[in-house]
Amino acid sequence: MLLSVKGLDVKLYNTKRRDVTWETCTLRAWLNSEFFETAFSASEKGQIVLSTVENPDNKEYGTEGGNTTQDYVYLLSLDEVARYFNIDPYSEKDKDVLSEALICLPTQTAVDNGAFIVTQEYVDKYQSEYSYPLKLGACFWWFRSPGRGQLSATDVSFVGYVSDSGGPSKQRVYVYGRSSASGCKTRFRGAASSDSP
């Protein structure tokens, strides 16, 4: 598995406000076409395995996750975040936990394309409203899991808060890509990211 440590680009989960699943959202289409074609060399693409991706329902709200998909690149699900980051967004204990491990910094490409980031001006204006220090440069990032309904997808805020209810699918947040690779040692690069994630 290859997991980017940075937010790679700014993309809507879906370009139209309508009911979607991971299978039907425009972000999935972009990741597995334009992004896949430009972010990896021919040699790297040859090492990336087409993965069977299960899309579990949102356990809190019962929102259907949709059909299993075949993807080269995909976003984490809520269940995978629980597994890889040791945080269960469905448990009462972890529900309101902010995790520094989930705070994401964007690439310069994402910033250039309009990513919201925590700036010094933002910290100066809003730090008093938070009981923990804000991290300069932090951004939001998507999961592929559905939110409270099919109009929303789950995400992580710039403070590391997992929203299992999700934000509107029209919200601008940032790709935190994952691909399944066999022995692939490369990082996401090229047109999608001019700096090392």
Given a contact cutoff of 8 angstroms between Cβ atoms, the answer to whether 8 and 174 are in contact is: yes
How many independent structural domains does the chain possess?
1
Q: How far is it, in rounded angstroms, from Cα 115 to Cα 11?
A: 9
pTM over 0.95: no
Structural domain boundaries, residue 170: 2-185
**Residue 196 within a domain:** no
Confidence of residue 102 (pLDDT cuts 50, 70, 90): confident
**Residue 190 within a domain:** no
Phi–psi pair at 106, nearest 5 degrees: -85, 160
Cα angle vertex 84, ends 132, 143, to 5°?
75
The stretch 83-109 carries a mean pLDDT of 76
**Residue whose entry in the numeric block shows the structure tokens 């991290």:** 135
Picking from 27-31, 54-58, 167-171, which range would have the lowest pLDDT averaged per residue? 167-171
**Residue whose entry in the numeric block shows the structure tokens 């076409």:** 33
Name the token pair of 124.
Answer: 């100066």
Q: Which residue has the higher pLDDT, 171 or 160?
A: 160
pLDDT of residue 170: 41
Contacts with 110 (C-beta within 8 Å, 6 or more apart), sequence order: 6, 7, 8, 9, 10, 139, 174, 175
**Residue 142 within a domain:** yes
Given a contact cutoff of 8 angstroms between Cβ atoms, the answer to whether 8 and 192 are in contact is: yes
**Residue whose entry in the numeric block shows the structure tokens 């980017």:** 4
Per-residue burial over 173-187, b if 16 or more Cβ lie within 10 Å, else e, is bbbbbbbbbeebebe
**Residue 74 within a domain:** yes
What residues form DSSP beta bridges with 139?
Answer: 104
Q: How far is it, in rounded angstroms, from Cα 143 to Cα 167?
A: 11
**Residue 158 within a domain:** yes
pLDDT of residue 8: 87
